[in-house]
Every structure is written in structure tokens, then in C-alpha cells.
Amino acid sequence: MSKGRIILHIDLNCFYASVEQIYDTSLKGKPVAIAGNPKERRGIIITCSYEARARGVYTTMNVGEARRKCPELIVRPPNFDRYRTASKSFFNLLKEYSEILQPVSIDEGYLQLPIIEGQNVLQHVQDLQERIWTELQLPCSIGIAPNKFLAKMASDMKKPMGITVLRKRDVPAILWPMPVIEMHGIGKRTAEKLKKLDIQTIGELAVADEYVLKQNFGINGPRMKQKANGQDDRPVDPEAIYDTKSVGNSTTLSHDVTDRDELYEIISMLSEKVAGRLKAKKLAGVTVSVMIRTADWETYTRSKSMNNAINAKEDIVEQAWNLFNKHWHEEPVRLLGVTVSNVSDIKETTQQLTFFNFEEHVKEEPIIKLVDQIEQKFGKGAIIRGSDIAKPAGKHHANTSFSKDFWDEHK
């Protein structure tokens, strides 16, 4: 690790459950689960302690099934104020080690360490892990590697309280024998598609034909091959937390729903929430997705991209409902989600002219020309819309829901 970059991926183990055990020490050493609605039999497990996992409880399992597997399971509702406080302390501690810090969620992040001649990196990381445990009472696993992909893979290898070093030269021996489903960034559907191409291990992906991968996965095909070979040039970017790629909302239903009118109302409600968040962030997107989870736990997502970016509730509802109607086979629904992705600042979006909207653009053209003339004379931003005046001061980034809930408080 003496050359190149030294990148850590730090992952807090069973974060929500660990925080609850801090606030109630009687929970330590016991099977604990955090669920969206513990009183509902169909409430979903968000996370659980390792003691619960040892009894067969896992994330996304419903509360009723979890209690059948582990009758002594202690189920608590989430307390996000506690989790934000603990997360803030965690990232503040990490910043003592390096300013090159990229949070990726409330309980994990990448940290690039400065290269210091003669420094014992492993001892340095052990000290960091020990501080997180003794000062914050939070267990964590840490991966040490020359890039972000390998650091993430390494942190997953020893849990809880593990430290793993993964170098590029270790990739053939350690990663290549693993099934592709265990590779970070590859989900069940991608793994199934790779299997049809006779690619079942990371090693087989590493030597796969790049043209075939690109034909089947687009630009992500060659990227997957690069990572399978331990290659990843992405920087640890402290600003990346502000990059919004999508805005979505989902809800787990308290009962299995088959009534079409009720399902429409749920999609309408979700679309309204998404529209509100998009407008608050001054964003619009060109892709609408609907996620459907059935009563037998099958989950599928369907998407549609459009020529024009949208952020109005009516437009989102129309696209989401059309997608749902096209792909729903009338099976009982347990969870619904609506997402708008491929988003950008609404000022940067372009709208395709049609017979129905060209008059609106013609009316605005003199105003647009006037604004251009003023900006050419006095500088860009010299004149703004009244709706933009109330925009908070600070970094001009589109906040993700994570930064909205947490990161702004952390700065």
C-alpha cells in the first residue's frame, strides 16, 4: 500500500440496531430488529443485529415471519434523530483522519488517507476502528485498497469488526473464484443475464468478450469487466453526496392490495411526494420508474424515458399509472414505488417544441432575449426569477435525500 492511493471503505455494522443498543444497553447481546411498523405483522425488517441474523432473521423479511423464526426477537421502530446524531459523530471522527471523505449513506463512506513515508497503514486503520468502537460504541468493518471498488469488496469480507486489505495482485486468487452475484454493483437480474452468457464467476467476467458485454449491458458492460480485473479510477469525491440522480418514494402497504382504484390512489400519493421533492430541489427528470413488490415477495421495476423532462404531479402520475397498468398482472401488491431519474436542474432542461406548446415558447422569446442581453452586459445571474430568490445560500448543488436529511446538518 506504499504506492498509489490508500482508500478505506468504512461500513458501520447493523447501524440502526447498534445505535438502539447504545441507548438501551439491555438490548446488547440480544436479537434486535428495526422495523418500519413493528405492530403490523407485515411490517418490514429494516435491519437487525447479528444475534437475530444467527436465528435466520434478515433485512426485508416481514415482522410476522421474523418472529416465527425467532420468538424472542425484540422489534423496535426506527428513530432517525438518533441515527443522524450517531452518523454525524461518525463522519466528524473520520474527518480527523482526512478531508478526502465521501459519505455514500448514513452509515458508510470512503476515506482516502494521505501517504506518509514509514507509516504503518494497517496499524493506523486499527487505531481508527478502535476509536469508532470506544468513543462511539459503533462496530464497523473496514476495507483497505488502492481503489473504491476493491475497498468496498474488502469491507464486506469480514463482519462484524473486520479489517481486510485487498490489493490488485490479490484479485485473481480472492475475487475471481467468487460468484458474480457477490460482486459489488451486480444485482440478481444482472447476474441472471450474465449466467445466460455463461458468465457465472467474477473470473469469467474478467476475461469475457468486451463487445458481447457492451451489446448486452451498454456502457456498464466494459465497466463491470474493468472492476472484475480490480480496475477503478473513480476519485473519492467529497462533493458526490450532492449529485442527485433520481428522486423517488415507496411505501410498504399494511395489507395486500388488489383493488385498482386503491392502487391508483397510492401511485397518485407517491407521485405527489416525488413532484414536491423535485420542485423543492428545482429538478426535473426524463425517466419514470414504477417498482412493484408482490405478496410472494417478487420485486420488479419498469421504466419509461421521455423526450421532455417532467416534475409535475399530473405528468408523473400519468406515466407511472400507464407503466403500472401495462406490467401489473393483478397479483396482490405489498409495496409500490415511484421514481423520477435522469434528473437535472430545471433551468438546464430542454423541452421539445410541439404543435401544442410552440405558442408558449414564442411568447417567452422576447423575455429570454432581454435576459440574455442583461446577462451579457452585467454577468450571468444578474437577473433571476422571483421563485429563485428564496433559495438558501450555500453550495449550489442539488441535494440528495440523504444530504437533505443529514449532510447539511453535518457541514
Cell numbers given for 167: 490489493
Q: DSSP class of residue 240?
A: G
Binding-site positions: 11, 107
Cis peptide before 160 (omega within 30 of 0): yes
The 3-state DSSP class for residue 385 equals: coil
List the Cα angle 200/300/154 in 5-degree steps.
Answer: 45
316 Cβ partners below 8 Å, 6+ apart? 271, 274, 275, 288, 310, 338, 340
Decide: 15 and 107 in contact? Cβ < 8 Å: yes
Question: Cα(36)–Cα(44) distance, rounded to whole angstroms?
Answer: 6
Q: Which of 108, 192, 330, 359 is catalytic?
A: 108
Cell numbers given for 352: 421539445
* Direct distance between the N- and C-terminal alpha carbons of the chain, in angstroms, rounded to an integer: 31
Decide: 204 and 80 in contact? Cβ < 8 Å: no
Instruction: Report CA-CA distances (Å) from 58 to 38, 49, 157.
Output: 15, 9, 18
Binding-site positions for Mg(2+): 11, 107
Nearest Cα to 73, choosing from 39, 43, 49?
49
Question: Cα(107)–Cα(9) distance, rounded to whole angstroms?
Answer: 11
For residue 301, what is the enclosing H or E element?
strand 299-310
The amino acid present at 199, given as its one-letter code, is I
Decide: 290 and 327 in contact? Cβ < 8 Å: yes
- Does 365 qualify as catalytic in the annotation? no
The catalytic site residues sit at: 108
